Amino acid sequence: MAGNCLEAVELTSSGRPVLLPSEIECSLLSAVDLECEDLPNFPNFKSGILTLTTHRILWVSNSSSQGASSAIPLASISHIFTSKKSLKSIFASPRIRFQLSVSPDGRVAKSGSGSRSVVVTVVVRGKGADLDLFLTKFWDNWRGRAWETGNADVTSGSDSVSGSTSGLYTKEGTVRMVGVSGILRKEQEMWETTDKSLQDAFQDLNALMSKAKEMVMLAEKMRQKLLSSSTSQSSAAEDGELGSKQDMQDWLLSVGIVSPVTKESAGALYHQQLSRQLADFVRLPLERAGGMMNLIDIYCLFNRARGTELISPEDLLQACFLWEKFDVPVMLRKFDSGVMVIQNKTHSDEEIFARIKSLATKPDALRTGISASDAAITLGIAPGMAKEHLLTAESRGILCRDISPDGFRFYINLFPEIDPNNVYLVKDYGVYDTWSRVASASG
Partner 1 sequence: MQKLGDYKLPQFFNYPPYFTLQPVRDTREKQIQLWKDLILDYCRTQKIFVIALEEDFPLFSNPAIERSLSHEAREAFLSILVSDGRAEWLDKRHRKCLILWHRIQEWANIILNFVKEYGLEDSVMTVEEIRSGIESRGTELHGIDRTILMRALKLLEQKGKLAIFKGTTADDEGVKFSI
The site for partner 1 (CB under 8 A) is made up of: 369, 394-395, 397, 400-406, 409, 411, 413-416, 418, 420, 423-424, 426, 432, 435-436, 439, 443
- For partner 1, the closer of residues 190 and 418 by Cβ is 418
User: b/e string for 270-296 if b means 16 or more Cβ within 10 A?
Assistant: bbbbbbbbbbbbbbeebeebbbbbbbe
**Whole-number Å distance between alpha carbons of 236 and 243:** 11
Residues in contact with 295: Cβ distance below 8 Å, sequence separation at least 6, in sequence order? 316, 320, 332, 340, 341, 342
- For partner 1, the closer of residues 169 and 410 by Cβ is 410
- For partner 1, the closer of residues 147 and 432 by Cβ is 432
Give which of 109, 100, 173, 163 is closest to 137, Cα–Cα. 163
CA 152 to chain centre: 23
Minimum distance between the CB of residue 356 and partner 1, rounded to whole angstroms?
15
- For partner 1, the closer of residues 170 and 436 by Cβ is 436
- Partnered with residue 58 across adjacent β-strands are 51, 71
Instruction: Name the 3-class secondary structure at 400.
Output: strand
Minimum distance between the CB of residue 424 and partner 1, rounded to whole angstroms?
5
Asked if 33 and 94 count as a contact pair (C-beta separation under 8 A), the reply is no
Minimum distance between the CB of residue 334 and partner 1, rounded to whole angstroms?
19
CA atoms within 13 A on the CB side of 380: 8
- For partner 1, the closer of residues 169 and 411 by Cβ is 411
- For partner 1, the closer of residues 18 and 414 by Cβ is 414
**Whole-number Å distance between alpha carbons of 297 and 342:** 10
Minimum distance between the CB of residue 369 and partner 1, rounded to whole angstroms?
7
Minimum distance between the CB of residue 439 and partner 1, rounded to whole angstroms?
5
Minimum distance between the CB of residue 225 and partner 1, rounded to whole angstroms?
49
Asked if 76 and 64 count as a contact pair (C-beta separation under 8 A), the reply is no
